[in-house]
A = this chain, B = another copy of it.
């Protein structure tokens, strides 16, 4: 299969390139280095030093004998995206190319506008390029579990049949997200669903929970292949941040009561989910939605797990409950269905002691690069 991976420089994008390449597929990676540059500007660079995509591609070729095509450019530029589609005519496109940070989207008007424009125009351009070049190309879109928010009813897998006044219809599950970034993902889904039913495209929308981990089979082959990894308030997510805080001897920053519950998954499982979706694609005219998580945890549970393992490893982990800079429910119902990807063959890597210990061990190697100023800046939702 020929697969186009958008956002190839990212935490998930790069290991996804390697995962497909390792399995014999032709991979074309695109990135505009938005996050790389933003992380420099905001002084929150990756824990792992990552060379540019051309350099990493050479390393990968040296190690595996396999070549990944790299194109640097901005896919909000339709002509650029279209030229790549025409050059390769991919069978599948994996769309990670969005501004992925909730706090970034809440910093000010300019960053909010950038998030809206980047996330929606990238998605629109992909839909148009697929229609123009090959409507049969399968779009695999990274959504987020954050689209659903924390409703007081069970979260189904994308769709909900509603009965109202003795009549029935089926709709996208109601969504109300907790940040502007997450809201752009809701908007993405609405736009995708419109074009799927109008043009008969085939799309898989993966409602992914926060991903954790540093290890993936291919990037573990050589330190030069490691993926970028953010642990800061802006681009990091909670478990990744906790591990780095524990290693740095910085109290774990729990926002508010810490009862906020989300569905998490291991980095290795993201690779599996995207790959399984690509080998068993959505039908034409189908918007297939999967909830991409393997285990729900509350923030307090994660803090407690990290403290327990960290203490055992000699890190003396403290937990600091701080005023929540976000506007979110700190106590809420959370019952989410996630059987679709298991049905495709996902074999989860659950959060075991061994996985945590390995996570600590890799992080420890890079502890001199930890920037303590990046852990908490109190970016306010208000």
Q: Which residues of A contact B (CB under 8 A)?
A: 78, 109-110, 112-113, 116-117, 120-121, 124-125, 128, 151-154, 156, 160, 162-165, 167-169, 171-172, 174-177, 179-180, 183, 186-187, 190-191, 193-195, 197-199, 327, 333, 381-382
Contact = CB atoms under 8 A, between A and B. Distances in A.
A194 B167 contact: no
B176 A193 contact: yes
A198 B110 CA distance: 18
A171 B183 contact: no
Contacts of A169: 151-153, 174
Most buried by B among A110, A124, A163: A124
A170 to B, nearest CB: 9
Given A109-B128, A121-B116, A167 B152 contact: yes
A160 B160 CA distance: 13
Contact of A167 (B116, B153, B183): B153
A152 B191 CA distance: 21
Contacts of A152: 167-169
Contacts of A154: 164-165, 167
27 contacts: A78-B110, A112-B128, A113-B121, A116-B121, A116-B191, A117-B117, A152-B168, A152-B169, A153-B164, A153-B165, A153-B167, A153-B168, A154-B167, A160-B164, A162-B174, A167-B333, A171-B174, A172-B176, A175-B190, A176-B190, A177-B190, A179-B194, A180-B191, A180-B195, A183-B190, A183-B194, A198-B381
Nearest to A160: B164
Contacts of A117: 117, 120-121
Nearest to A194: B183
Contacts of A197: 176, 327
Contact of A153 (B125, B162, B198): B162
A101 B315 CA distance: 61
A183 B156 CA distance: 23
Given A78-B109, A156-B164, 11 more contacts: A153-B162, A153-B165, A153-B169, A154-B167, A160-B162, A169-B174, A171-B174, A177-B194, A180-B191, A183-B194, A190-B190
Nearest to A132: B109
Nearest to A169: B152
A174 B174 CA distance: 7
Given A128-B109, A153-B169, A183 B191 contact: yes
Nearest to A382: B199
B164 A327 contact: no
A116 B112 contact: no
A195 B180 CA distance: 8
Nearest to A112: B124
The 3 closest A-B pairs by CB, nearest first: A171-B174, A152-B169, A187-B187
Contacts of A180: 191, 194-195
A154 B174 CA distance: 17
Contacts of A186: 187, 190
A78 B117 CA distance: 14
A7 B346 CA distance: 51
A174 B176 contact: no
A174 B165 CA distance: 15
A109 B187 CA distance: 18
A169 to B, nearest CB: 4
Most buried by B among A151, A154, A174, A179: A174
A157 to B, nearest CB: 13
